[in-house]
Structure 1
Amino acid sequence: MPDITRDSSIGAEGYQEIFGIDSKVVCISGSSRGLGKSLATCFGRLGAKVVLSSHNNEELAGAEAELAGQGIDVTAICADVRSHEDCKALISGTVDRFGQIDVMVCNAGTDIIKPAHSYEEQEWDEIVDTNLRGYYYCAKFAAQAMLDQGGGSIIMTSSVASSLGIPGLAVYAASKGGVNQLTRTMAVEWADKGIRVNAVAPGFINNFMDGVHPDLDTPYQRRAIELTPMRRRGNLPEYFGPYIFLASPAASFVTGEILYVDGGYSAS
């Protein structure tokens, strides 16, 4: 694969190779279902070695079996990202299994939708500990391993709620706003050490909340689609490209960015 960080010339084969993630080791938190599982499948089908992670052991085992059945080189490590020790074990387990970690996708998340004045203390803790502290823990330990091996890519899953006011998402929005700043600060700190840190901020995704908030036909949801220039929710495969790009050599000069993938919602 051409080293485009050192050589401005690219041969004929290099144009395809710079987007390659073949044989890269990719660890994804929150990947037993939803966006995380779909991303893991995509990375794996493109030749990456994939580490799945979730706090739900039964669900995790099912996802591992499903990906392995597709010929993907996959392993699963049960971890609750709210736990400092679990996150440490997730990264060390990844390195023990595959010898390195090239890409860390911080994706595990949770949400409780309710009016801002009605959150209980434990609800705040659950959301922030998962969505922000958990991201920090995973990124921290991944970076420690990446520093030893000379670099890597860390990708955070943010949200349009990180920068826009969306009713019922006060705590979730606060946590994702923190993720954006965590992304920028880590990117600046580690830029000269070969570690890139970026975030993907999804808009409204079809099936993203299945099993969590089954009723998506609410006045705000309908209004949100009306306000989305593309007039629809995104489909899971439409998010593969941004994550693959940020993980690949093609993004070697991209760090500290929040990439909104929302059908134009944040621009309107």
Structure 2
Amino acid sequence: MADTTRNSANGAEGYREIFGIDGKVVCISGSSRGLGKSLAACFGRLGAKVVLSSNNNEDLAEAEAELAGQGTEVTAIHADVRSHEDCKALIGGTVDRFGRIDVMVCNAGTDIIKPAHSYEEAEWDEIVDTNLRGYYYCAKFSAQAMLEQGGGSIIMTSSVASSLGIPGLTVYAATKGGVNQLTRTMAIEWADKGIRVNAVAPGFINNFMDGVHPNLDTPYQRRAMDLTPMRRRGNLSEYFGPYIFLASPAASFVTGEILYVDGGYAAS
């Protein structure tokens, strides 16, 4: 296959005939910007029906209009993944709109970089409730729908921080370790019911979680590059393939896996 990693449009089209995403219903939490929005656009170009979700109404409306302008059949549903009822309404709204849910991408996330001893209670709650509670809620309700329809694919966005010690990311890393265990245990529980559960663990990505890391030239960021064997950040388009693969019938015998996409960071 030709190298399509540098161009997001070509990156999507290059997979269209191979992975059979046409007509699938894909819901992505945290998809009003960054990685989630890019994934939504990619799935749309592959012919999927896409449900966007975020707790930022302005960004959500903008993303919906953008995808619709690209020809994607798309709807946007406001949801704060920290809320049990919002997550229930998100999946219910997806099924009401499109009749089913084939793929759930649990992607909404946040982090706060600071020394381990200095987190306030509210900061702990924000990170844990978003990155772990929210993932469980979205997986729980999407699985309920998938059990009724005979199967589906759930994909978690994890992180290299889930299994490596990275200074400044104590709470974030703990939640992502939890996400890995959610992935494995849910995969085992639902394996014989047609539901596959996997995770993608990104390394350091250009434009990942816009606004959370506004300054890319810091000692923290430079250290990350020194520890990445490829000596660069990943481009958003380089994550299309892993998510598409895990969402597709091509991964029909793959469940409970954590796929590191990190330029060799974890291996090093």
Shorter chain as normaliser: what TM range?
over 0.9
Distance, in Å, in 1 between the alignment partners of 2:218 and 2:89 is: 40
CA contact (8 A) 1:124 1:171 kept: yes
> How far apart are residue 93 of structure 1 and its match?
0.1
Distance, in Å, in 2 between the alignment partners of 1:65 and 1:242 is: 26
Q: Which residue of 1 aligns with 2:11?
A: none
What secondary structure is seen at the aligned counterpart in 2 of 1:172?
A: helix
> How far apart are residue 220 of structure 1 and its match?
2.2
Q: Which residue of 2 aligns with 1:261?
A: 261
Q: Which residue of 1 aligns with 2:231?
A: 231
What secondary structure is seen at the aligned counterpart in 2 of 1:112?
A: coil
Distance, in Å, in 1 between the alignment partners of 2:126 and 2:114 is: 14
Q: Partner letter of residue 70 of structure 1?
A: Q
Q: Which residue of 1 aligns with 2:9?
A: none
Q: Which residue of 2 aligns with 1:50?
A: 50
CA contact (8 A) 1:18 1:249 kept: no
Distance, in Å, in 1 between the alignment partners of 2:259 and 2:191 is: 18
> How far apart are residue 101 of structure 1 and its match?
0.1
CA contact (8 A) 1:18 1:248 kept: no
> How far apart are residue 212 of structure 1 and its match?
2.0
Q: Are residues 1:157 and 2:157 paired?
A: yes
Distance, in Å, in 1 between the alignment partners of 2:212 and 2:18 is: 37
For residues 244-264 of structure 1, give each alpha carbon's deviation from its aligned partner in whole angstroms, at most 9, with x where no partner exists: 000000000000000000000
Count residues in correspondence: 254
Q: Which residue of 2 aligns with 1:5?
A: none
Q: Are residues 1:87 and 2:90 paired?
A: no
Q: Partner letter of residue 182 of structure 2?
A: L
Which runs of 4 or more aligned residues in structure 1 lie more than 4 Å from their structure 2 counterparts after TM superposition?
A: 15-18
CA contact (8 A) 1:114 1:169 kept: yes
Distance, in Å, in 2 between the alignment partners of 1:79 and 1:121 is: 23
Distance, in Å, in 2 between the alignment partners of 1:204 and 1:194 is: 32
Q: Partner letter of residue 41 of structure 2?
A: T
> How far apart are residue 23 of structure 1 and its match?
0.3
Q: Partner letter of residue 157 of structure 1?
A: T
Q: Which residue of 1 aligns with 2:129?
A: 129
Structure 1 residue runs of 5 or longer lacking an equivalent are 1-14
> How far apart are residue 134 of structure 1 and its match?
0.2
For residues 84-103 of structure 1, give each alpha carbon's deviation from its aligned partner in whole angstroms, at most 9, with x where no partner exists: 00000000000000000000
For residues 182-217 of structure 1, give each alpha carbon's deviation from its aligned partner in whole angstroms, at most 9, with x where no partner exists: 000000000000000000000000111432221121
Q: Which residue of 2 aligns with 1:8?
A: none
Structure 2 residue runs of 5 or longer lacking an equivalent are 1-14
Summarize the Cα distance change of 1:120–1:64 in structure 2 as closer, same or farther, 3 Å threshold. same
Q: Which residue of 2 aligns with 1:190?
A: 190
Distance, in Å, in 2 between the alignment partners of 1:132 and 1:105 is: 14
> How far apart are residue 226 of structure 1 and its match?
1.4
What secondary structure is seen at the aligned counterpart in 2 of 1:267?
A: coil
What secondary structure is seen at the aligned counterpart in 2 of 1:40?
A: helix
Distance, in Å, in 1 between the alignment partners of 2:86 and 2:219 is: 39
RMSD of aligned alpha carbons? 1.1
What secondary structure is seen at the aligned counterpart in 1 of 2:266?
A: helix
Q: Which has the larger radius of gyration?
A: 1
Q: Which residue of 1 aligns with 2:99?
A: 99
For residues 156-204 of structure 1, give each alpha carbon's deviation from its aligned partner in whole angstroms, at most 9, with x where no partner exists: 0000000001110000000000000000000000000000000000000
Q: Are residues 1:76 and 2:76 paired?
A: yes
CA contact (8 A) 1:202 1:262 kept: yes
For residues 9-49 of structure 1, give each alpha carbon's deviation from its aligned partner in whole angstroms, at most 9, with x where no partner exists: xxxxxx98661100000000000000000000000000000
Q: Are residues 1:23 and 2:23 paired?
A: yes
Q: Which residue of 2 aligns with 1:40?
A: 40
Q: Partner letter of residue 31 of structure 1?
A: S
Q: Partner letter of residue 224 of structure 1?
A: A
Summarize the Cα distance change of 1:17–1:235 in structure 2 as closer, same or farther, 3 Å threshold. closer
What secondary structure is seen at the aligned counterpart in 1 of 2:19?
A: coil
